[in-house]
Amino acid sequence: MKLYNSIGPNPQVVRMFLAELGQELEMIEVDLMAGENRQEDHLKRNPSGQMPALELDNGDFISEVTVICEYLDENQGNTDLVGKSAEDRAETKMWTRRIDLQIVEPLTNGFRYSEGLEIFKTRMRVIPEAAEGLKLIAQEKILWLDSLMEGKEFVCGDRFTLADVMLFCFLNFGATVGQTINPEAKNITAWFEKIKERPSASA
């Protein structure tokens, strides 16, 4: 298998997940800043033009970070990163989806519509007037999640999972583009500092 990789939080999710699995893949770099991901070669891998993309041994491609990570986990025999039981897998997928929809989406679009506007305005529909509201939604949902993290080691309790990987990579990205964690979110802040110490966090 090969991973088509680039800068940005989405590819970092897969790289961090791979590191947690203890798995290495051949990496092929795609120049996101030059718009290489919107060129014909990459659109054949992923028609939506997003990063990353996983090329399977049979030549097929898988995209969308949660799908890639779930595939890699299943391919390795179902680990605790997604879940060994049906119940654990459901819990992981539930929290990963909540984080993706309620924190990741508004956080990243808030960036694309403001600080990242010059990069994205020719690549997708942008709504600059929505940027501040989206950033506010992301912060409100971080505080919502913070209240649910009381007494928990990880998002799914005592299991470190894909939900933690997803949340860490995007909060880490947010901190680099002016969307730092609200200091009132003390549980999330403590969790973030702990996850940052994992070797996989630098993948």
Q: What is the pLDDT of residue 116?
A: 87
The C-alpha atoms of residue 65 and residue 50 are separated, in whole angstroms, by: 10
Q: Are strands 61-63 and 26-29 parallel, antiparallel or unpaired?
A: unpaired
Give the list of residues 6+ apart from residue 166 with CB closer than 8 angstroms, or none: 13, 65, 66, 96, 99, 100, 104
**Quick one: tokens of 17?**
């997940």
The pTM is what?
A: 0.95
* Residues 163-168, mean pLDDT to the nearest whole number: 98
Give the list of residues 6+ apart from residue 170 with CB closer than 8 angstroms, or none: 9, 99, 103, 104, 107, 108
pLDDT in tens, 193-203: 999 999 999 99
Residue 55 φ/ψ, nearest 5 degrees: -95, 125
Q: What is the pLDDT of residue 81?
A: 98
Give the chain's mean pLDDT: 96
SS3 55: strand
The C-alpha atoms of residue 195 and residue 42 are separated, in whole angstroms, by: 32
pLDDT in tens, 115-143: 988 888 888 899 999 999 999 999 999 99
Q: How confident is the model at residue 57 (pLDDT cuts 50, 70, 90)?
A: very high
**Quick one: tokens of 85?**
């039981």
Q: Where do we find the tokens 């984080």?
A: 99
What the chain holds in terms of domains, given with CATH numbers, is 2-75 (3.40.30.10), 86-202 (1.20.1050.10)
